[in-house]
């Protein structure tokens, strides 16, 4: 994949640094991570859910952290004691993982739960009142008054 140089755009824009950094980050080899699999679904107008398949992990072996518009989910299995059992085939992955999700502005993590090997992370987009679109009333045009000069007396006439 070709690399796009955004440096000329930095000179003519203000405040879009994060956007250009995100575009630079797309296509990096570290972004090609496939474990663990996950779904992102919209559950309401301002609510979302990330569901990750973390079979074999316990609540104590998982950690979720949200910082600076990045949600990080880490999983690390506890060490097994030697001589516990001998595997003939091992298909359930027990490798450690770290998965990062970019969060939009005003998106916060509301809850997380682990059920049947699926980690559910509920997100809420909470837009402040000042940033919500607001309806602006359109006032009727005010009635104009014109002045007619008759001799030395100024009288006002109202026109419609």
pLDDT number for residue 16:
62
Among candidates 30, 114, 111, 36, which has minimal Cα distance to 75? 36
Among candidates 119, 126, 116, 135, which has minimal Cα distance to 44? 126
Other beta carbons within 10 Å of 54 = 22
pLDDT number for residue 122:
94
Identify the three-state secondary structure at position 103: coil
pLDDT number for residue 8:
67
Q: Taking the domains of the chain in order of start, what are their residue ranges?
A: 1-32, 34-80+88-128
pLDDT number for residue 133:
80
Query: What's phi and psi for 155, nearest 5 deg?
Result: -120, 150
CATH label, 34-80+88-128, candidates 3.30.40.10, 3.30.43.10, 3.30.70.2740, 2.60.40.790: 2.60.40.790
- Low-confidence stretches of the chain (pLDDT < 50) are 1, 31
Q: Write out pLDDT tens, residues 63-110.
A: 999 988 889 999 998 776 666 778 788 787 778 899 998 888 888 899
pLDDT number for residue 142:
72
């Amino acid at each position: 994949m070709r690399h796009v140089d955004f440096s000329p755009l930095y000179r003519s824009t203000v405040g879009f640094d994060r956007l250009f950094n995100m575009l630079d980050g797309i296509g990096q080899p570290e972004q090609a991570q496939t474990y663990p699999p996950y779904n992102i679904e919209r559950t309401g107008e301002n609510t979302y859910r990330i569901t990750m398949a973390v079979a074999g992990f316990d609540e104590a072996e998982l950690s979720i952290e949200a910082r600076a518009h990045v949600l990080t989910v880490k999983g690390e299995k506890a060490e097994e004691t030697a001589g516990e059992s001998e595997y003939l085939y091992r298909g359930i992955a027990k490798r450690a993982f770290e998965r990062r999700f970019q969060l939009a502005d005003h998106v916060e993590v509301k809850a997380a739960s682990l059920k049947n090997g699926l980690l559910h992370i509920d997100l809420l987009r909470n837009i402040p009142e000042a940033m919500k679109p607001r309806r602006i009333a359109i006032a009727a045009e005010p009635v104009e008054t014109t002045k007619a000069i008759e001799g030395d007396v100024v009288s006002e006439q109202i026109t419609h």
